[in-house]
Structure formats: C-alpha cells, structure tokens
Amino acid sequence: MTTAETSARDPGAYCREVEAYLCRKNRGHLVRIVGPAFELVSGWATAGVPIQAVTRGIDRKLERYVSAGRSRRPLHIEHCKADVLEAFDAWRRAVGVTGTGVGGPADRDDGVAARTAAKPRALSLPAHIDRALTKATTLLALAEAAPGLHAALEQLVAELDVLRRDARGARGAARAAYLGRLVAIDQQLLERVRVAAGPTLDDIGATADRELAPFKPRMADAVYAKAWSAAAERALRERFRLPTVRVD
C-alpha cells in the first residue's frame, strides 16, 4: 500500500504526509502538526480534501511571501487554511463534488459564498491563446517528460499560432467557432498525451480513485463516472503541466 493510499483512509498518515511536504517547503525546518493543527488537518482528511489541494494551498501561500520579496519565518499549516480551502473549492468545482462541510465558499449558502466562488473575469480570446502558447513553449524548452510529449506540444503550438493570427476581433458566430476549435484542440492534446503517458496513466487513474473515494458512496454511478473522468483529466494536466486550451 502506498503512502497516498494509506493517507486516503488514515488521518494520521495524511497529517504526516502534509507535515513532510511542509518541512520540505520550509527548507528543512520541521513544524510539527500537533494539537489544533492536527485537528485542522485531520478534519481535511475526514472531509476528503485531496493531498494535492493541500500542497497547492501551501504553495500559493509561499508564492505570496516570495513575490513580496521579504524573508519569512517557517510557515505553519494554520496560515495556509484559506489557500487550502480555495484550492479544494477549485478542485470540487472542476470534478463536480458538492457539500463537503469543511467550511469552504461552496459550503455556505449566503451572498458571500456566491461572490467568493465566482469565476475571475475572463481573458480576451487572443490573451487566452497567448497564455496557452506561452505555457506550451515553456514546456517545449524543458526536458521531455515522456516519449511523444514533445511532438504533442509542437503540434499544439503550431495550431495555436494559426488561431492567434485570426482570432483577434472575432465576434458572434466567428468567436463561437474559435471557441469550438479550442475545445477540439484541447481534446486532441489530451488524447496525444494519454498515448505518450503509457503506464503513467495507471497512476493518474489511481489518483482519481483516491481523490474521489470519500465521496463515492453518496454519488450516483453516472455522477461518479463524470467526476472520475474530470479528476483523471485534471491529474493528467497536472502531471505533465499541460495548459488548458479550451475556455472554461
């Protein structure tokens, strides 16, 4: 049994995994998860907050410290609570899980919840394409993570380059056509990367299983299948750091 499989069922193992990640991010300084911190993190484990949401929340908190350009003391997990819940909310919206009871925006039925969970203002179509292109070209400059991944990214860059030249100023039916094309390109990218991923797909499927395990008993089969597909797609993107080409 892997650490991740154990932590999906055991709050103690979950807390140790979070503690180890926090230690690495604190440059080796150990901040123990005990007392109120243990209650907080074990509550996340019981509620089914994926480890990936916790680590993403820790990373976001640290990024703000770094961007501020100031030295910092070792980070405590309590300082990351809001970022962890925000990352968890994003995961839940992506895969379609609701009603977790951990105090995130989507668990509150008040005006504040709606405003907190609202999507950020959408980028223009050319800006969205530029952002996807920037991420894809950055990945191309790195070492190839899997056979065939480089070719998939090259194909993506070529297709987005063509769209970028033509999409500026598109309105109405023309813009809708470009949005449809972006959806098709996004799906083609995922299909190519799945082929390139090989045995890594088994790990990605296992990640989706673990993330959804706490919620599966109360989900209808069709709802679970849709959520599993979304969780596996999200894990695939994160594993290979893929851009999201479609406009959500």
Res 192: pLDDT: 92
For residue 197, being part of any structural domain is answered with yes
Total domains present in the chain? 2
Structure tokens given for 131? 């952002």
At residue 108, the pLDDT reads 41
In this structure, are 105 and 144 located in the same domain? no
Asked if 58 contacts 84 with a C-beta cutoff of 8 angstroms, the reply is yes
Is 101 within 8 Å of 47 (Cβ atoms)?
yes
Query: For residue 228, how many other CB atoms are within 10 A of its CB?
Result: 19
pLDDT at 9: 58
Give CA 60 to chain center in angstroms: 12
Could you tell me if 91 and 174 lie in one domain?
no
Nearest-5° Cα angle at 178, 177 to 179: 90
Does residue 143 form part of some domain? yes
With respect to residue 178, please indicate whether it lies within any of the assigned structural domains. Answer: yes
Whole domain around residue 23: which residue ranges? 3-117
Report pLDDT for 225.
94
Is the separation of the CB atoms in 34 and 69 below 8 Å? Answer: no
Residues 104 and 145 in one domain: no
Residues 29 and 129 in one domain: no
Q: So what's the pLDDT on residue 144?
A: 60
In the listed set 76, 100, 117, which residue is the last one of a domain according to the structure? 117
User: Looking at residue 69, what is its pLDDT?
Assistant: 65
In a domain, residue 211? The reply is yes
For the chain, list residues with pLDDT below 50: 1-8, 103-120
If you write DSSP's letter for every residue of 106-140 in order, what string do you get?
GG--SHHHHHHHSPPPPPPHHHHHHHHHHHHHHHH
DSSP 8-state code for residue 21: H
Question: Is 94 part of any domain?
Answer: yes
Same domain, 99 and 168: no
Assign 99 to helix, strand or coil. Answer: coil
Tokens describing residue 100: 């977790």
206 and 227, same domain (yes or no):
yes
pLDDT in tens, 19-48: 999 999 988 888 899 999 999 999 999 999
Same domain, 66 and 139: no
Are both 113 and 7 inside the same structural domain? Answer: yes
Backbone angles phi, psi at 178, to 5 degrees: -65, -40
Residue 86 shares a structural domain with residue 105: yes
Residues in the chain: 248
Q: How far apart are alpha carbons 47 and 32 in whole angstroms?
A: 21
Last residue of a domain, one of 117, 134, 154: 117
Residue type, position 199, single letter: P
Residue 245 covered by a domain: no
User: What pLDDT score was predicted for residue 109?
Assistant: 38
pLDDT tens profile 128-164 = 999 999 999 988 887 565 667 888 999 999 999 988 8
Tokens of 203: 């790990």
Looking at the fold, whether 139 and 209 belong to one and the same domain comes out as yes
Is residue 247, in this structure, part of any structural domain at all? Answer: no
**End position of a domain, from candidates 117, 143, 164:** 117
Report yes or no on 108 lying in a domain: yes
